[in-house]
A and B are shown apart, each in its own frame.
Chain A
Amino acid sequence: MIRKIQTIVLLILFFFPNNVHSLIEVDITRGNLNPLPIAVSPLFSDEKTTSNGKKELEISDIGSEISKIVENNLRRSGLFNPLDKKAFLQKSDIAHFKPRFEDWGLIKAQALITGKVSLIDDKLKVEFRLWDILAGREMIALAFTTVPNNWRRVGHIITDKVYERLTGEKGYFDTRIIYVSEKGPKTRRIKRLAIMDQDGFNNKYLTLGNELVLTPRFSPTNQMVTYLSYFKNLPRVYLLDIETGLQEVVGDFPGMTFAPRFSPDGKKIIMSFAKDGNSEIYTMDLENRIVEKITNHPSIDTSPSFSPNGKYIAFNSDRSGYQQIYTMKSNGKSVKRISFGKGLYGTPVWSPRGDLIAFTKLHKGKFYIGVMRTDGTGERLLTENYYQEAPSWSPNGRVLIFYRETKSDSEGKGFSAKLWSIDLTGYNERLVETETDASDPSWSSLLSN
C-alpha cells in the first residue's frame, strides 16, 4: 500500500513539477529558430536630463540612445527579436511604473524592458525593469549610478542583466574586442592594434602602424595587452598598457618570441620562443621576471592556451609530423595529443567555461572553425570557408569571434580581411563591422567585474 502511494506521489511530482519560475526562458544550447519577441521601451528621461545629455554628451535623446544599444545587442545575439517601437502603445514613463500588459501582449511582446535615466550633477543614474508580459509580472528591477562617459556601457550592462535573467547564463555585452586593423596591399600590409566595444563603437587605435603588429591578447583585468611587434625589425612579444599607451618588451630573449597570452591569474606571459629552427613554449613571470621553459621537443610548439583554472595548457605542435592539438600540465608534463581527425589543426583556445577547446582546421583546401572536448572527443565543425582562423571565446563561452580573408588575383584585387562571429550552436554567423579590414580578434572578459 505504502509502495503504491510512494509511486503515485513520485508520478505526481514528475508530471506536475513545482514551477515558481516565469514562463519565459531562452534556451541557448540549441539553434534558436524562434527568437523571443521583446519590446525595448526607450528609457524615460526628464527635460533636465535630456538637455544635459545634449550639452555634455552631445546626444539628442539619451534614454532613446541607451535603449537602442540594448536593442542592437539583443538582436545581434540571435536569441531575441526586438519589436518595432512604432507599434508601442504605452509611453515610456508610464510603462516603467505600471505596464499595461494587455497592450504589450497585443503587439506580441513576451518580455518588456523599461527604465528611467537621469543625468544631474555629473552623475548618470539608471533604473530599469524587465517584465514578463505573459505572466504579468516584474522579473528584475535594478538601479545603478555611473559617470556620464559610461553611457554606452549602461546599455551593455542592462543587456547583460536581461540576458542572464532570461537564459540563466552570464552575458557578454559589456566587453571589448582588441584586434589588428589592416590596410594596404597584401605584399606590404600596414597593421595597427585597435580596440572597440563589442558592438563596434568607441574604436581606438593603440599603435601608429609604423611596425608590423600581430596577435594581441587581453590581460584578465583588461588593463593590459600582450602582442607581437616587429619594432626595429626584431619580432618580440610586448606589453602595452591600454590607459597610458606605454609599451615594453617582455624579457630579453636572443631570438623571436611570438604567440603571447596571459596566464589566467595575469601574473605570467606564456609564449613561443624560436631559435635555430625550433620553437618552444616558455613562460615569464611579470613580477620577478623568471623565465621557465615548458616544452622540450625539436618540433614547432606554439599557440599555447591555458585552461581557466591555470592547471593545463593546450597548444599546437607538429611533433607528429603535421600541426595537431595537444594538452599538457602547466609544468609541461603529461603531453597528450587530442586532435585525431583528418586534416591539420591549429590555434587551440580553451573556453572560459573550461569544457571545450575551439580550433582552426584545414582539410582538403578548406578552413574550418570547430570545437572539441578537452580530451579531443566530440569534434564539431561550426563553419567552413576559403580562409578563416583564430577563434576567440566570449567570456561566457557561448560565442566565438574569428577572422576571414577572401581570395585575390595576382595584383591583390579582391582581397579583404574581416571579423566574423558565430554561436557555439553553429547558428547566428555574422559579420562584425570594423572601420578598416581586420584580423586577429581577441575578446575581453566582462568589464563590470
Chain B
Amino acid sequence: MNLVKILRNAFLVVLFSFVLSACATKTKQVGQLQGDVYTGTDTVEYLAKGVPDRVFFGTNESILTTRSRDTLRKQAAWLRKNPSINVVLEGHADERGTREYNLALGERRANAAKDYLMTYGVSSDRISVISYGKERPVDSGSNPLSWSKNRRAVTVKAN
C-alpha cells in the first residue's frame, strides 16, 4: 500500500514538473512581444554604437511605448552631437490591413517619431518623412511575430 502511494506521488511530481516546464517554454515564445509591440532586436540596425535605428508599434497604433521613447531620445542625442546629419523617417505597417489605410498609418507613425525627436531638440528641417505602408516589410512571415517586426518607424541617414 505504501509503495503504491509513493509511486502515485512520484508520478504526480513528474507530471507537475512537465506542466511547469511547458509554461516556461510558453513565456519564452512571447518574450519578444509586449502586448503586441515587438521588443526584440532581430531586425534592428544601429545608427551608431548603442543607438537603435527603429521603434515598433502595436496593431493599428501610432503610440510610442516607453521603450520607443527611450530609443528616440538616444537618436536625438546622437543627432544633436552630429548636427550636419539629416534623416528620413520611414513609417511602415504590417500586411494585415487595407493598403490605402496602411499608407496613412505609416505616415502617422513616422510623424509620431519625428515629433518626439523634435521635442528633444532636433530641428524639423533635418527630418523628412516617408510612408511605405505595407509595401516594404522587413519580415516576410505570416504570423503575429513577423507582423510585429514590420510595424515600425525607421530612422535612415539622408546624407
Residues of A at under 8 Å CB distance from B?
Answer: 185-189, 212, 214-215, 228, 233, 235, 256, 258-259, 272, 274, 276-279, 300, 302-303, 316, 318, 322-323, 344, 346-347, 360, 362, 365, 387, 389-390, 405, 407-412, 415, 439-440
Contacts and interface: CB of A to CB of B under 8 A. Distances in A.
B99 interface: yes
A215 B100 CA distance: 8
21 contacts: A186-B137, A215-B99, A274-B103, A276-B111, A277-B111, A277-B112, A278-B108, A302-B103, A316-B100, A323-B60, A346-B101, A347-B100, A360-B98, A362-B98, A387-B95, A390-B98, A407-B142, A408-B142, A409-B142, A410-B141, A439-B99
B138 interface: yes
Interface of B: 60, 62, 95-101, 103-105, 107-108, 111-112, 115, 130-131, 135-142, 146
Contacts of B107: 256, 274, 277, 279
Given A277-B111, A408-B140, A189 B135 contact: yes
A232 B53 CA distance: 23
A362 B135 contact: no
Contact of A188 (B108, B111, B136): B136
Nearest to A259: B100
Contacts of B60: 318, 322-323, 344
A343 B12 CA distance: 45
Nearest to B145: A410
Contacts of A228: 103
A214 B135 CA distance: 10
B42 to A, nearest CB: 10
B101 A390 contact: no
B140 A259 contact: no
Nearest to B108: A277
B99 A390 contact: yes
Nearest to A300: B104
Contacts of B112: 277
B113 to A, nearest CB: 10
B101 A316 contact: yes
B100 A187 contact: no
B137 A187 contact: yes
Contact of B140 (A187, A272, A387): A187
Q: What are the 7 A-B residue pairs with the smallest beta carbon separation, nearest first? A: A412-B140, A277-B111, A346-B98, A410-B141, A407-B142, A279-B104, A186-B140
Nearest to B107: A274
Most chain A CB within 10 A, of B98, B103, B108, B135, is at: B98
Given A387-B96, A410-B140, A300 B105 contact: yes
B101 A233 contact: no
A276 B112 CA distance: 9
Contact of A272 (B62, B95, B98, B104): B104
A280 to B, nearest CB: 10
**Max chain B C-beta neighbours (<10 A), residue from A188, A235, A259:** A235
A415 B140 contact: yes
Nearest to B60: A322
A362 B98 CA distance: 9
B141 A258 contact: no
